[in-house]
């Protein structure tokens, strides 16, 4: 009985040492993804501007955010440009799918086929976890 208790004790100590060594390794190598979101009193949960991100939960996504904290880059508008803004939640972002299969890409291809003299640009300003109230508040911050 004493030998079993000793074995369990040393197994527990060994397990804790492995966890501590792993934490130390991750801290030294900086493999742990940095935070790319924060809470803003004006707009709620917001992505940091101009930040690289790596998401490993609910699928896999890697990329960077724009100067406004969205996944899509917002550029200057030329007179021959036609801009469409997509607002929504994580379904609109579609970060776990290939861009060629995303609603924004399909819409852009269809519109470019119909309006040959216009430069169609679609901006995906979806945000994971947003509801209609959050989307309205964020939209009001653009005014």
The model's pLDDT over 53-106, given as tens digits with 9 standing for 90+, comes to 777 666 667 777 888 777 776 667 777 888 888 888 878 877 777 778 888 889
Tokens coding 38: 């924060």
Asked if residues 86 and 103 have their Cβ atoms less than 8 Å apart, the reply is yes
Q: Is 49 left (phi over 0), alpha (psi -120 to 50) or beta?
A: beta
Both tokens of 90, joined, read 């994580």
pLDDT of residue 33: 59
Q: What does the chain come to in residues?
A: 143
Residue 15: how many other CB atoms lie within 10 Å: 10
- The answer, yes or no, to whether residue 124 has pLDDT greater than 60, is yes
Judge contact between 124 and 71, C-beta under 8 A: yes
Q: How far is residue 86 from each of residues 10, 50, 69, measured CA to CA in Å?
A: 57, 20, 15
How do beta strands 44-47 and 37-40 pair? Answer: antiparallel
- Any idea which residue has 């200057």 for tokens? 76
pLDDT tens for 13-31 read: 999 999 998 888 877 876 6
């Amino acid at each position: 009985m004493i030998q079993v208790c000793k074995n369990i004790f040393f197994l527990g100590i060994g397990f804790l040492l492995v966890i501590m060594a792993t934490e130390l390794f991750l801290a030294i190598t900086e493999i742990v993804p940095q935070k790319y979101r924060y809470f803003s009193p004006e707009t709620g949960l917001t992505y940091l501007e101009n930040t690289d991100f790596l998401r490993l939960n609910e699928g896999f996504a890697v990329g960077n955010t724009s100067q406004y904290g969205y996944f899509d880059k917002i550029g200057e508008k030329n007179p021959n440009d036609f801009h469409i803004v997509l607002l929504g939640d994580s379904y609109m972002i579609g970060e776990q799918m290939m861009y060629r299969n995303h609603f924004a890409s399909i819409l852009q291809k269809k519109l470019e086929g119909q309006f040959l003299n216009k430069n169609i640009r679609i901006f995906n300003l979806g945000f994971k976890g947003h509801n209609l109230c959050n989307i309205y508040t964020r939209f009001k911050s653009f005014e």
